[in-house]
Amino acid sequence: MIVFPDYTLEETLQADGAACVIGVDEVGRGPLAGPVMAAAVWLDPAHIPEGLNDSKKLTARRRDVLCAQILEVAQVGIGEASVEEIDSLNILRASHLAMERAIAALTVRPDHVLVDGNLIPRGLKLPATAVVGGDARSVSIAAASIVAKTARDRVMWDLAQHFPGYGWETNMGYPSKKHREALKKLGVTPHHRRSFKPVHNILYQAE
């Protein structure tokens, strides 16, 4: 039986007085290239698209359809942290920075934030709850995961057109065999994360 996330966490918080409850999630911690991106989503409980789920459990086509539906009925903010910020801050802090930027991009002010994972961004000055496995529990977080994944995939597809050979249009910057082989053959691009070991090792060997 397939279990989908629901609106229970949001309803509980609303019953305690938090009228505007949003979900936030990030995507792109593991890739060797490209930014880390996050989305923050407020869903109207009367207009929640059907089939929301953890973006990793959905096909690209289904994510695209759901993302379009989310953008039609929800308040959405998108944020990112650049490769330079990832290298200077570390990937965890950069991920949290992307989340903070996504929340700041919303046109509504949240009363409570549901954050996917076990940590709350330290720069977040709002009431918040960390929800482990949140994209499988909360429809708001699931919606955020879909928007963030769709947005980042589009960024990586665009970068792939300018830097062919690394397979970013399919691996989205993750360390696939093709990507790792291309790194050795073609070298490091400005969009690679130099603080990540496979990239750092190639740069070190080159020196």
Q: Nearest 5 degrees, angle CA 191-CA 194-CA 197? A: 125
Can you list the domains of the chain with their CATH numbers?
8-154 (3.30.420.10)
- Residue 34 has what pLDDT? 98
Q: Provide, rounded to the nearest whole percent, the portion of the chain with pLDDT above 70.
A: 98
What does residue 118 show for φ and ψ, rounded to 5 degrees? -110, 5
User: Does the pLDDT of residue 47 top 90, yes or no?
Assistant: yes
CA-to-CA dists, residue 170 to 35, 67, 68, 153, 164, angstroms? 16, 19, 21, 9, 11
In the predicted model, is pLDDT for residue 137 greater than 60? Answer: yes
Rounded distance, CA 104 to CA 54, Å? 23
Residues 70, 25 contacting (CB under 8 angstroms): no
Does the pLDDT value for residue 169 go beyond 80? Answer: yes
pLDDT of residue 207: 47
Whole-number average pLDDT of the chain: 95
pLDDT at 150: 98
How sure is the predictor about 53, in pLDDT bands with cuts at 50, 70 and 90? Answer: very high
Assess contact for 76 and 41: CB atoms under 8 A: yes
| Annotated binding residues | 25-26, 116
Q: Name the pTM for this structure.
A: 0.95
**What's residue 2's pLDDT?**
64
Question: Is the predicted pLDDT of residue 162 greater than 80, yes or no?
Answer: yes
Residue % of the chain over a pLDDT of 90: 94
Residue ranges for the known binding site for a divalent metal cation are 25-26, 116
